[in-house]
Amino acid sequence: MATSYYWGTGRRKNAIARVHIAAGEGKFLINGRETAEYFPRHNWLSGALSPLVVTGLEGKVNVFVNAQGGGLTGQSGAISLGLARALLKMNPDLRPVLKKAGLLTRDPRMVERKKFGQKGARAKFQFSKR
């Protein structure tokens, strides 16, 4: 019998994460690597794992993630959203718990573009009257 996978896509900043989950013994791989190896900082790891912690499913599902683009902060947020969406497809009864924790909302904040004639998005070159 083939294992049934549930998937979810998460985005944050310039990062995209495709998350596949299946019932299992709690394996969690990101781009073929273990989570602690991929996310050296605790806040990145805890952010990515938050949907499993909130729903109480850590150690009960296998999670396979393909993350690309952006940095580790963006990828952590993308994994969190993708995982929450996949859990929702697996069990729609988890919606109130995930919604209350704010895990089903995409973070819309993006980097503001640099404007021409300026140092950055907001920073200006120093003005000299003379």
Residues 6+ away with beta carbon under 8 Å from 24:
3, 60, 61, 62
pTM (whole model) above 0.85: yes
Per-residue confidence (pLDDT) for residue 72, from 0 to 100: 96
Per-residue confidence (pLDDT) for residue 2, from 0 to 100: 58
pLDDT in tens, 78-98: 999 999 999 999 999 999 999
* pLDDT over threshold 60, residue 40: yes
> What is the C-alpha to C-alpha distance for residues 128 and 120, in angstroms, rounded to an integer?
18
Per-residue confidence (pLDDT) for residue 130, from 0 to 100: 86
* pLDDT over threshold 50, residue 76: yes
> What is the C-alpha to C-alpha distance for residues 42 and 56, in angstroms, rounded to an integer?
19
Mean pLDDT of 32-56: 95
* pLDDT over threshold 60, residue 1: no
